Amino acid sequence: MSVSKDIYSVIYNIIITIAIAILLVIVISYGLFIIYEPPSNLSTDSYQQCYQKYNCSNMLQECLSESGAYDRDCYNRIYNSEPYLQCKDLVTKCRDDAERQTPKFKYARNNFYILSAIGLLAIILGILLIKLHGIGSGLIGGGILIILWSLVYTGSYWRLMNRYIHLIVLVVVLLLLIIIAIIKLNKINISVKRK
C-alpha cells in the first residue's frame, strides 16, 4: 500500500511541477503582453533608406548591362568582389543601427530585461520553496522556461545584443541550472539516507 502511495505522490509532484511551470510561463507572458503592449508602428522604412543609400545591386546591374545578357560570370565576379562585400557590410550596419532606433527594438529590449528578471526571481523563489516538492520545482522550471522564452520572444534585441552580454546571460543561466541540480541532488541524497 505504501509503495502505491509513493508512486502516486511522485506522479502528483511531476504533474504539479509541469502544470506550474507551463502556467507560470503563460501567465507571465500574457500578463506582460496585456500590461506592456507592443508598439503599433512596426514600420521598416528605415531599412529601405539603407538599401537606397547603399545600392549594392547597382554593381551587378552595371556588369549585366555591359555584358548584354545573363552572365553567370558577372554574378560570381560582383558577389565576390571587395567593393560589393564592403557595400553589403555597410547595408548590414545601417540596418542594425536603424533597427536599434525602432520602437520594436526598444520594446524587445525592455521585454528581454523584464522577462529575464521575472525568470530569475521565479528560479530563486523556487529554490527557496524547494521543500514544497511540486511547487518549488514548478517555479524553477517556469523560471527557466521564462528565460528561454525571453531569448526567443525578443529575438530582434538578442540578435543585436553585444556578444559578451550573450555569453554572460548564457553563463548565468547555466550556473543557475547547475546550482539547482546540486540542490536537488543533495535533497534526493538526504531523503534516501533517511529511509
Q: Is the pLDDT of residue 1 over 50?
A: no
- pLDDT 10s digits, 81-134: 888 888 888 888 888 888 888 888 888 888 988 998 999 899 889 888 877 878
pTM above 0.95, yes or no: no
Angstrom CA distances, 174 to 105, 134, 135, 157, stand at 26, 22, 21, 21
| Burial group, residue 31, by CB count within 10 angstroms (0-12, 13-18, 19+) | exposed
Quickly count: other Cβ atoms within 10 Å of residue 46's Cβ: 15
